[in-house]
Structure formats: C-alpha cells, structure tokens
Amino acid sequence: RKEVEQDPGPFNVPEGATVAFNCTYSNSASQSFFWYRQDCRKEPKLLMSVYSSGNEDGRFTAQLNRASQYISLLIRDSKLSDSATYLCVVIGYSGGGADGLTFGKGTHLIIQP
Amino acid sequence: DTAVSQTPKYLVTQMGNDKSIKCEQNLGHDTMYWYKQDSKKFLKIMFSYNNKELIINETVPNRFSPKSPDKAHLNLHINSLELGDSAVYFCASSQGRAESFGPGTRLTVL
C-alpha cells in the first residue's frame, strides 16, 4: 500500500461549484498534515495545514479523520484560478527526527468557465 | 526577497557528466531538503540536512551527494549523470513543519 494516496483526477468542475477530494495515508503514527498546491511547471506552495479539529481558510476547508486515516480538502465557490494540482502531504515521525514530507501524487483540478 | 532560490533553473547536459545545483535559503531555517519530481509528477524526498545531520533516502544512488557549506546553503552534486536522472529537482527548507520550496531546476540528460 502506498504511503499517501490520492485520486489523480482530473476533476473537471464548473466555475462556482463546490469540489472535494480526499487523501488516505498508511502510517498511523503520522503527526502533521498539509495541503500543497502546485501549478504547472512551478514549485509546490503551502495551501494550508490540516488540524485535528478541522480548519477553514476562506473558501477552503480541511478536515482530518485519524480513525480512518484520511484528510480532505473542500473548495467552495471555485474560481478559474483554483485550477492546479493539489498535493496531500504527511509528516511522519520516527525515532528522534522528522521524516521530511511524504507527498501524494496529487489531484489535478480543472475549473471550467 | 526570494526565500528559497536555486540555480540554474534549467540544466541540459550529456550522459556521464558531473553537475551541481545550488540552493540558498534566507529564511533562517534549520533544515533543508532536496526533492526529485519525475515525469509522472511524483515528488520524492532525496535528502534532508539539519545541523550537519544528513538523512538519506535509501533509494537515492550514491552518485548524488548533498553538500552544505553553511546553514543557508545545500548544494546537490550529481556524478556520472544518467538518462533516468532527468527530472525537476526542488530544494526546500523548513523550521519544524511545513516547507518552503525553491522554484526548481529542470535537469535534462541527453
């Protein structure tokens, strides 16, 4: 089983719609979770951290379900500029140090006018 | 003002050559990383470097070696380049958790 799994998409969504995607992780000891966004031929950029209680940042809502080992990202009122690849990122801790980020392969989102 | 910078942005070279990619961060972060993003867009960590402690992903060939002259720099040296090394290489830095990425270096091996 892959460490971090995402549906690669693409998700084709009309502008203004709400879209959600999930990501599952295999390491139950994982401690920190993030969503990154990557535009074509650009570097990944942090979109938001994911907290246990769930968190919201404008049109974006992130949720964590530790029991089922998945995180989700919800985008409301989608804009054309939301078109990008969304990367699920997990940090697992082993021993005395961090393992660095483990990335999912990303979900490709296309917002259509 | 660039937080994490890399040079060069593009690198085209012949198989068998030795090349280096430089990375600098001005964020004062303690940990720096190198990632490889292949043609299938999968990002995979290669190295992390923190206070002179190097953690290597065991799948990385020993032709790849990171070198850190100081806390703000982590350069990547690649010996005897192979076709399969063609990818985008991202440098990143962090202070604990989320990482900031450099703009990437697109390496093409001919």
pLDDT tens-place string over residues A46-80: 999 998 888 999 999 999 999 999 999 999 999 99
Stretch A73-92: mean pLDDT: 94
Q: Does the pLDDT value for residue A94 go beyond 60?
A: no
Q: What is the pLDDT of residue B53?
A: 80
Q: What is the pLDDT of residue A95?
A: 44
Please, are residues B100 and B94 in contact by the beta-carbon 8 Å criterion?
yes
Chain A residues touching B48 at Cβ < 8 A: 98, 100
Stretch B25-54: mean pLDDT: 88
pLDDT mean across residues, chain B: 91
- Percentage of residues in chain A with pLDDT exceeding 90? 73
Q: Is B45 on the interface with A (CB under 8 A)?
A: yes
Residues belonging to chain A with any Cβ–Cβ distance to chain B shorter than 8 Å: 32, 34, 42-46, 49, 85, 87, 91, 97-103, 105-106
Q: Does the pLDDT value for residue A22 go beyond 80?
A: yes
